[in-house]
Amino acid sequence: MDHDEFRRLGHRVIDWIADYRERMATLPVMSPAKPGEVRSRFPAAPPARGGGVPAALAALDRDLLPGITHWNHPSFFAYFPANASYASVLGDLLCAGLGAQGMSWQTSPAATELEEVVMEWLRQIVGLPAAFQGVVQDTASTSTLCALICARERATGLAQRHRGLQSGAPALTVYASDQAHSSVEKAALLAGFGRDHLRLVGTDAQHALRLDLLEKEIEKDVAAGRRPCALVATVGTTATTALDPVAGMAALAERHGAWLHVDAALAGMAMALPECRWMWEGVERADSLVWNPHKWMGVGFDFSAYHVRDPELLTSVMSTSPAYLRTARDGEVRNLRDWGIPLGRRFRALKAWLHLLDEGVEGLQARLRRDLDNARWLADQVDAARDWDRLAPVPLQTVCLRHIPTDQRDEKRLTAHNLAIAERVNRSGKAYLTPSVLKGKQVIRVSVGAEATGRAEVEALWKMLKAAARAV
Ligand SMILES: *Cc1c(COP(=O)(O)O)cnc(C)c1O
């Protein structure tokens, strides 16, 4: 492909994206594709001869679009929002176009320094103290893995440099709530703690971690000669956006010399609103914190913000400095390869930078308030409806509800009934939501927050849910 062809095709790609977004609302939100359906449209062997890109663009609509679930659709209410604003799309395009690899400062100083600028802006936006330094990771899963590895290394005086976890030292334990994201369990296992040393502590009626139970678990471990190593507080759990008591957990972490990691993957964005900051009171006492601008904020996947209070520890744990990576500037600059697991790094700061320039903090705040308001509205409708139940508080933008037909108390039947409602809505293509199970109860989970979702879509969803409940 030469420059001119790139120009020609590139314009077509941009037009295709804009056309796609313009008509997205008319497409079925959840892909109706069956397993193997997309794969069967492609040749089994690679092309022998080149020149096939123009034809591929034509095949986008025919072969790939049916296999796409439209995360930016105005009636996307599943999982958590993963918005990709136009501005961030342009940033990603520039990142790809520059093709720069930002593993070290020297390998593209702008990639490192714009990331420093953007992470500092994000710190200010969510109101973290200046003591926190930030770095971009691909996902919250990776950020939490980094946190637990650092917790392990701090507790063992950097044992990785000697016998690692094989020195026969006391077992290290990790604590999170039974509502913590699966990435916390995965990180604990990958970081070598072992499932036997992961405590998933019980939660209260609001689905938040119970401090009294946490304290008991810790005391039991200490009495048995184990060492409490890390506490993970979730601010905004995935099921219901429950808020763990960060300040209380910080006090326990401090008392036992344990690491406190805060997982605010979705809810971190809400802290751009001063009226939400009470939700993570005590956060300034955390050792590390992750939130995902690639969720509610609108920065296209993948962009996870990882903030730490002790970057020196992070770089001690993560750095390897073989001769071929060393440069004369190493003493004066950040080499972001030492701030996480991968060596190679994309220039992700571009998409966040453009997104922030486009929306401004006030634009972000207005959109967040709109979504909070819409979720509140839906919660109020559910509360006012006699045969609908709300199963969790709504501090943010997720509403967990279920339909209870008159006199129906049988959990099995309620499960089947509510699954059928969700399935009917999803199969209609008009909206997409995810059913979930909350402490044994089947719920329909409505997560508001796609960039294009307004009150009209939330009202339409409520109508659809009621109609589906009558029909199934
Ligand atoms: C979405 C989510 C995660 C995982 O995010 P990834 O970036 O996909 O790894 C972790 N924790 C919570 C609370 C989440 O909601």
What's the DSSP call for residue 82? -
Taking the domain 356-471, which CATH number applies?
3.90.1150.170
Give the pLDDT confidence score for residue 118 in this predicted structure. 98
Confirm or reject: Cβ of 261 under 6 Å from ligand 1: no
Task: Please give the Cα distance from 124 to 120 (Å, whole number).
Answer: 6
Task: Please give the Cα distance from 375 to 369 (Å, whole number).
Answer: 10
Q: Ligand 1 centre from 271 Cα, in Å?
A: 17
Pairing of strands 304-308, 288-291: antiparallel
Residue type at 298 in one-letter notation: G
pLDDT in tens, 67-86: 999 999 999 999 999 999 99
Q: Ligand 1 centre from 238 Cα, in Å?
A: 8
What integer is the mean pLDDT of 131-144? 98
CATH 3.40.718.10 fits 100-346, yes or no: no
Q: Name the closest-CA residue to atom 14, ligand 1.
A: 265
Q: Ligand 1 centre from 270 Cα, in Å?
A: 15
Q: Of 251, 253, 212, 215, nearest to 231 (Cα)? A: 253
Helix, coil or strand: residue 336: helix
pLDDT in tens, 284-325: 999 999 999 999 999 999 999 999 999 999 999 999 877 777
Quick check: pTM over 0.85? yes
Pairing of strands 198-201, 398-403: unpaired
Ligand 1: which atom is nearest the Cα of residue 294?
7
Chain mean pLDDT for the chain: 96
pLDDT in tens, 314-349: 999 999 877 777 777 878 899 999 999 999 999 999
Least confident of 21-30, 184-193, 355-364, 408-417: 408-417
Q: Of 466, 460, 416, nearest to 76 (Cα)? A: 460
Joined tokens for residue 2: 């030469």
CATH homologous superfamily, domain 3-68: dopa decarboxylase, N-terminal domain (1.20.1340.10)
Task: Please give the Cα distance from 141 to 78 (Å, whole number).
Answer: 19
Task: Please give the Cα distance from 385 to 431 (Å, whole number).
Answer: 21
Ligand 1: which atom is nearest the Cα of residue 138?
7
Confirm or reject: Cβ of 183 under 6 Å from ligand 1: yes
What integer is the mean pLDDT of 139-144? 98
Give the pLDDT confidence score for residue 324 in this predicted structure. 75
Between 181 and 57, the more confident residue is: 181
Q: Ligand 1 centre from 347 Cα, in Å?
A: 21
pLDDT in tens, 211-240: 999 999 999 999 999 999 999 999 999 999
pLDDT-based confidence at 406, cuts 50/70/90?
A: confident
Confirm or reject: Cβ of 265 under 6 Å from ligand 1: yes
Confirm or reject: Cβ of 263 under 6 Å from ligand 1: yes
Helices (H), 319-384: 349-384
Give the pLDDT confidence score for residue 349 in this predicted structure. 98
Task: Please give the Cα distance from 146 to 191 (Å, whole number).
Answer: 9
Handedness of CA 306, 311, 313, 319 (dihedral sign): positive
Whose tokens are 């193997």? That residue is 36
Ligand 1: which atom is nearest the Cα of residue 142?
9
Pairing of strands 76-77, 432-438: parallel
Whose tokens are 């049916």? That residue is 66
Give the pLDDT confidence score for residue 117 in this predicted structure. 98
The gap from C-alpha 98 to its chain's centroid, in whole angstroms, comes to 26
Give the pLDDT confidence score for residue 325 in this predicted structure. 74
Q: Ligand 1 centre from 183 Cα, in Å?
A: 7
pLDDT-based confidence at 408, cuts 50/70/90?
A: confident
Q: Name the closest-CA residue to atom 1, ligand 1.
A: 265
Give the pLDDT confidence score for residue 407 in this predicted structure. 79
pLDDT-based confidence at 399, cuts 50/70/90?
A: very high
Give the pLDDT confidence score for residue 328 in this predicted structure. 77
Task: Please give the Cα distance from 352 to 339 (Å, whole number).
Answer: 19
Same fold across 3-68 and 356-471: no
pLDDT in tens, 410-425: 999 999 999 999 999 9
Q: Which of 181, 182, 234, 262 to mutate to test the pocket of ligand 1 (most atoms within 8 A of CB)?
A: 181
Residue extents of the structural domains in the chain? 3-68, 100-346, 356-471
CB atoms within 10 A of CB 289: 29
Helix, coil or strand: residue 340: coil
